[in-house]
Structure 1
Amino acid sequence: MPITILTVDDEPVQRRLAREALTRAGYRVAEAESGEAALQSLADTSTAAIDLVLLDLMMPGMDGLETLAAMREQGFDQPVIVLTAKGGMDSVIAAMRAGAFDYVVKPVAPERLRTCVHDALKVQERITTPRRRPAASPSAITGFDNLTSRSEAMTRVITIAKKAAASNIPVIIEGESGVGKERLARAIANASDRSRKKFVTVNCGAIPENLVESILFGHEKGAFTGATERQIGKFVEADDGTLFLDEIGDLPLDAQVKLLRAVQEGEVDAVGARQTKKVDVRFISATHHDLVSAVQAGRFREDLYYRLSVFPIRMPPLRERREDIAPLAEQFTRSFVRSEGAGHIKGIERGALNLLMRYDWPGNIRQLENTIFRAVVLAEGPHLTEADFPQIATQLGSPPAEQERSHAAERHMEMVLQSPSELGDLQRAAKALRLADQQPSSDDMGSELTDGFLAALDSEGDVRALAEIEEEMIRFAIDHYGGQMSEVARRLGIGRSTLYRKLKEFGIDPEIIRDAG
């Protein structure tokens, strides 16, 4: 069955360009002129299911970011590639953080668009296909030795957690979403005297409010409408073991009252039961909320807070433990190489690790893990490189390496040094580089172009920095073509947007150069 892509753009010309590029690649294309129309198309069960959305960020009415947010709120999880005009990187970064897979710049380059779509669908297929994961449960393999702790902040956390594991004291782990609170909880449980007992997890924020009591404490058959069989509840299931109450701050106030009694007395009342049941449970809780503020605001019971937070541990966000980013990335790479059967990947390059270490990771370890997963699925070379992390490069404000790769003309100065025959009018500069290298002279080793020849060596006889040569080449071209910027860009083999970015980068004023010429 053909893959269907929904293009969302208020400009008919842009929709046509995208439709032609995608149709040639064998995709079925549906179109929407607005965000509102896109949501209707996604919800319309009478039409073909949408596999991917190509979404323009700048539209009247509901713009791209609002449309993307509405898609996620309504449960539409299709991969999204955003369209942006030149210079709209702030919106692109916001879209990436909201969950967009990648972006393309208008006017759409067909090959770039087809590559983005192929990569997005490839990752989506891997996510929805059952993974070949190890059979062992996380509880069986997670210990303190499995927690990466090269940073001082994480080393302190593990030292404190080991002390907590030596007793049955109630522990609460505080930290942002994705920092690894459950992994730490499992490590504590596995280092305790209950290591061979059950580790039962309850996500308090994911339980419907009307089912909290039944899920935590159980119910008898016929206790309420829909109770067709008896359920023992999580407390009884965790008897003699550890109960991990994740996102405890999201528990409704009514349920907090009954939870307090269970924690204090070690007794639970199943819904519809005639008598209580004694349980012996070790409590570990976790939250991304500031529970002290929640107590002050009346959203969390003060007595329950003090019962659960006898031993608080704060998990630092990944941006506060940057020393751990590289080893975590290497660990995830090895793991996904095994599980995804990507034996051609031997590791991750230092340049890519440096890129990952510069990023702040608002989604913390979970986001890093997902990013490595995407890279492993899409990588074709023997190592993960910066080009395999385009979203991170985008959010750091630098253009993704894969986009640069698809626009090879932007690397014109590198081509001057490596393959001058491809650059037409720049051959004279390449020849000058060779001549200057072979016959250096004091006149040619300055920082100016003389009669169209560019010095390759500085006054000390060392090869000059590529940026210096690039700047002088641009200055020379502006002077040579009388400030005709379209001609300058064409002769240098780069786009006008790239040329103007270079002018800004080097502080070049074309008017001054033209007037001086």
Structure 2
Amino acid sequence: MSPRILIADDDPVQRRLLEAQVQRFGYVTETVDNGAAALARVKAQGQAQGQGHGHAPLDLLILDLAMPDIDGLGVLKTLRKEGYRVPAIVQTANGSIETVIAAMRAGAADFVVKPVGTERLQVSIKNALRADALEDEIRRMNRHAAGALSFKDLIAGSEAMERVIRLGERAAKSTIPILLEGESGVGKEVIARAIQGLSDRRGKPFITVNCGALPEPLVESILFGHEKGAFTGANERHVGKFVEANGGTLFLDEIGELPLETQVKLLRALQEGEVDPIGAKRPVKVDIRLISATNRNLIEQVKRGRFREDLYYRLNVFPIHVPALRARREDITELARTFATRFAAEEGKPLRGLTPETEALLCAYDWPGNVRQLENAVFRAVVLADGDELTVTEFPQIAAHVHGFDICVPPAPLPVALQPARETEFVPVELRDPHVLRLLDDEGEILPLERLEAEIIRFSLIHYRGQMSAMARKLGIGRSTLYRKLKEYGLQQGAEGDPLGLSDPMAGLLNRAGAAA
């Protein structure tokens, strides 16, 4: 889902022009003609979120400072005072230092002067969205560490996940045992943490046990504890996971992997509210909220005699099925953006997001490993990225499995560079290895610098997939110089502002390169 931007400007002509610009960047827009309407829209969004329906959430505001009744500064001050967290870019015809300082103190993320250039506006929007996403991720991590994660912190805009959230919110209000069902990697533990964050056990211990990773001889000791000297190697007392979770929540992941002998003791612990540590003289009372999870069909396990039927019915009181990522494709883009923001911060990379084609690729893939696979794929892409956006090039394994997105990456041979459309044509130099540049012509003579420069620029067009900012930065020249050389070497086609002649900044270039090959 593309970010939604609200534009507030009392000038109808400026408002329409700005709306057209923002829509060309690929964002969803809404417009209002005064500050009061902007405030009402933001407040309506907050009320709708509390009720679970209503207006789609806004990701960014673009405010004109000079508006009747409530101006842009008034909107910013009101939003800050009432606790609404929506990043805002302000624009005005007055670019004085005093005006800029006042806007920033009021909480603006950036300041632009009318008429704002297309590139300046796009960079400002990307930076504001990136900074807001990073702040959201930091707040989410803090709540996760404090045991206060809630369903509002989850990225779950799809209808399938809305049902999960509705069930989770109802279950959180009681102590009923919950069984989370779903494929591995769909986020069952995150759902469990959100349930605790909404319950009266918020902030209390949340203990996770992966039952499939427990050594069978130590399962009972790990879960229920043991006394010192209870068996060989028991050199000190161990309280066990049940006691660790006392007063909070115990999350038993992959519960279908528990041995049958342990299942008997688990059933007794749930029924009696107490555990028997190995070697203890008396049972220990525990007060826990149990949430179990499985990626198996437990009723089939019961039929095969691998899971106790009485324990199954004890656990399966309130089942919640968490859908696979391929069943909630609406969430993929936002998840990928969130992961990219976090990993870019961790890796110290100035990434602003993903290209539209990359988002289309990720949404087209089936993700058999679900959210965990997506997270790892984005992490790898961030490490590989050289530009300020993640492109299809950074997801070669994913692109190879999606029709229409297959790409060639080094060390595979690259396509022949574009033929220059000039009266004085250059002989194209084919780069069979990106680390080797041909210096001699067919007669054994040194190639002129002009031809070498043209070839380097052609190669960079393909390598950076038409991203002008990345090309100029890596080539060590200004953007104006790059545009001039593109025109000079016959690589500039199409209307002004679209140097490659592409509505998609990659497709035409690569198709032409492929045709030349």
Q: Give the structure-1-normalised TM-score.
A: 0.55
Pair 1:281-2:288 in alignment? yes
Q: 1:332 to 1:233 in 2, by over 3 A?
A: same
Partner of 1:170: 177
| 2:374 corresponding residue in structure 1 | 368
SS of equivalent to 2:208 = strand
SS of equivalent to 2:227: coil
Secondary structure at the aligned position of 1:212 is classed as helix
1:467 and 1:175 mapped to 2: Cα distance? 38
Partner Cα separation in structure 2 for residue 390 and residue 421 of structure 1: 32
Q: Which amino acid aligns with 2:166?
A: T
SS of equivalent residue, structure 1 residue 325: helix
Counterpart of 1:421 in structure 2 is: 426
> Cα distance 1:467–1:274, how it changes in 2: closer, same or farther (>3 A)?
closer
Deviations 1:394-437 (A, max 9, x none): 12255654517963325x6x546699633499xxxxxxxxxxxx
- Would the aligned equivalents of 2:148 and 2:202 in 1 still touch at CA under 8 Å? no
Q: Give the match's secondary structure for 1:313.
A: strand
Contact 1:423–1:493 under 8 Å retained in 2: no
Aligned residue for 2:243, secondary structure, equals helix
Partner of 2:211: 204
**CA, structure 1 residues 159+467, in 2 after alignment: closer, same or farther (shift >3 Å)?**
closer
Change in 2 beyond 3 A, CA 1:280/1:140: closer
Instruction: Output the amino acid matched with 1:360.
Output: D
Q: In structure 1, how many angstroms separate the alpha carbons of the residues matched to 2:167 and 2:312?
A: 20
Say which SS state the counterpart of residue 237 (structure 2) adopts.
coil
CA distance in 2, matches of 1:424, 1:389: 28
What is the distance in 2 between the residues matched to 1:278 and 1:207?
23
State the alpha-carbon separation in 2 of the partners of residues 223 and 189 from structure 1. Answer: 34
Equivalent of 1:146 in 149, 153, 157: 153
Per-residue deviation at 1:146?
1.4
Q: For residue 380 of structure 1, what is the amino acid of its counterpart?
A: D
Equivalent runs, 1:81-100 vs 2, <5 Å: none
Which residue matches 1:242? Answer: 249
Alignment partner, residue 295 of structure 1: 302
In the other structure, the counterpart of 2:361 is 355
CA distance in 1: counterparts of 2:172 and 2:394, whole angstroms: 40
Q: Which residue of 2 aligns with 1:328?
A: 335
Return the alpha-carbon distance in structure 2 between the equivalents of residues 345 and 270 of structure 1.
51
In the alignment, which of 265, 278, 287 is matched to residue 271 of structure 1? 278
Change (3 A) 1:277 1:417: farther
- Rounded Cα–Cα distance in structure 1 between residues aligned with 2:306 and 2:212: 14
Matched, 1:386 2:386: no
RMSD over equivalenced CA pairs, Å = 3.4
The whole-number CA distance in structure 1 between the counterparts of 2:143 and 2:166 is 26
Residue 338 of structure 1: CA displacement?
1.5
Distance 1:142 1:407, change over 3 A: farther
Q: Which residue is 2:123 aligned to?
A: none
Contact 2:147/2:206 (<8 A) preserved = no
How far off its partner does 1:341 sit? 1.4
1:46-81 alpha-carbon deviations (Å, 9 max, x no partner): xxxxxxxxxxxxxxxxxxxxxxxxxxxxxxxxxxxx
Higher helix share: 1
Aligned twin of 1:108: none
Q: TM-score, normalised by structure 2?
A: 0.55
DSSP 3-state at the match of 2:400: helix
The Cα offsets for residues 490-510 of structure 1, whole Å up to 9 and x where unpaired, read as: xx864xxxxxxxxxxxxxxxx
What amino acid maps onto 1:357 in structure 2? Answer: C
CA pair 375-295 structure 1, distance change in 2 beyond 3 A: same
Cα distance between partner residues in 1 of 2:507 and 2:166: 48
Corresponding residue to 2:188 among 181, 184, 188: 181
Identity %: 53
5+ long unaligned stretches in structure 2: 1-139, 431-492, 494-500
1:260 alignment counterpart: 267
Aligned to 1:407: 413
Q: Which amino acid aligns with 2:220?
A: E
Distance of aligned partners of 1:227 and 1:377 in 2 relative to their CA distance in 1, 3 Å threshold: same
